[in-house]
Structure 1
Amino acid sequence: MKNIFCLLLLCASLLSCAQDKQPLLGETEFQREINSEYKDATKSPLKAKDLKDFVGLDFFKFDSTFVVKAKLERTPNTEYFKMKTTTSRVSLERIYGVLTFKIKEVTYKLNVYQGKELIEQEEYKDYLFLPFLDDTNGDGSYAGGRYIDLRIPKDDSLIIDFNTAYNPYCAYNYKYSCPIVPRANYLATRIDAGVKAFDKH
């Protein structure tokens, strides 16, 4: 009888532990992946004090309005320039092309960039960097703007999913050096999608 009682106690204890370990939050695969990355102390940009109680980032609710098909106009002859960052470091970037798309029947354009250092790495040779500003900055999203990762398409169009917009690492920790979003990439509308501003401890 004692053995059965001990077994019941053990099961109750394990169940309690399992309940204490909360699953990572997120409605979409992107949200779960970024939460998993930020929860991992070996990858996370979070400060130790913020990581301690981290359960997940805040996101705008997924909205298909902000998943748009964009036309890519390549600009093959652009030269690399020194994109300013939040530190004295500069990032060598060039305008790879101009993206044209519509949100709620209004046409917008954004420059998409290619980093000189990244394209030398095999896994990033087709990587494109899309930083942008919008009217949520400082009013729901990080004041310095957000980023989206893209890949070079085979043709002249690609999908921009603003629901995957994320904050620069320096939004969480000032030790990072983050590219400053060029003013040319300001969208005169609210992009209520992607990662929201982070509430630091």
Structure 2
Amino acid sequence: MKKLLLLLFSSFATLTFAQQHSAEYIDIVTHQKEENEEFSNPETSILTPKGLKEFKKLKFYPIDLKYRVVATFVRTPDEKPFLMPTTTDRLPEYVKYGEAHFDLDGEKLQLNLYQSVPIMEDPEYVDYLFLPFTDFTSGDGSYGGGRFIDARIPEGDTIVIDFNKAYNPYCAYNSRYSCPIPPRENDLKVRIEAGVKDFGEHH
């Protein structure tokens, strides 16, 4: 029994070590470091002067590569542009570009990805996709207004969605910003315990 337990522990430790030293893991660590640097730099921070003065670092869920999913990507070319509600009266124009279908903890899930109509004309952002979502952590660990993920149009029929890189809308930190409200169809009926946490009092 002791040998079995030792073997199991050894296998788990090896798996953990491998995950923490994989290219995907290191990429997420680098991403989080860059996020903290951007928030702490007065030239790039979107925080209020008071928020910047008090800022230490963002709080993230522990990195977990199970939340880095390879989804089936289905393009939806006949969609009509629509006005996405925001936290203010601003109504930015978006169009649904495609759907991501994936499994997580045995649940079959779907998220829609959108393109901002105005920036589609910008060569730098011509392949940029916007993924807003809410889940069961929204308001219970993560920001109640949902979180966002940035993506690029894939060449094939799969797309990587890394929830470890999920970030809060700017209005979670500064009320002068206007932020899109995730459409109801992007409400996931699971807990996504990955990415940035709520920016509460203890930051």
**Scaled by the length of structure 1, what TM-score is found?**
0.84
> 1-side partners of 2:39 and 2:148: how far apart?
16
Q: CA deviation at 1:79?
A: 1.0
Q: 2:135 matched to which residue of 1?
A: 134
Counting aligned pairs with the same residue, the percent is 50
AA aligned opposite 1:194? G
> Hey, what does 2:105 align to over in structure 1?
104
Aligned to 1:23: none
1:41 maps to amino acid = P
Q: Show structure 1 runs of 5+ residues with no match.
A: 1-26
The 2-side partners of 1:171 and 1:200 are apart by 12
What pairs up with 1:53-68 in 2 under 5 angstroms? 53-68=54-69
CA positional deviation for 1:123: 1.4
Task: Name the structure with the higher helix share.
Answer: 2
Residues 38-77 of structure 1 correspond to what in structure 2 (within 5 A)? 38-77=39-78
Q: d(CA) in 2 for partners of 1:50 and 1:200? A: 10
| Correspondence for 1:29 | 30
Q: Measure, in 1, the Cα distance between the counterparts of 2:37 and 2:80.
A: 37
What residue identity is the alignment partner of 2:90?
Answer: R
Deviations 1:86-126 (A, max 9, x none): 11111100110111011112110011101011212221111
Letter in 1 for 2:179: C
Unaligned runs of 5+ in 2: 1-27
**Partner AA of 1:100 in structure 2:** H
Runs of 4+ displaced beyond 2 Å: none
Alignment partner, residue 167 of structure 1 = 168
Bigger-Rg structure (1/2): 1
Contact 1:87 1:178 in 2 (8 A): yes
Distance 2:110 2:86 in 1: 22
The separation in 1 between residues aligned to 2:123 and 2:33, in whole angstroms, is: 26
Match of 2:87 in 1: 86
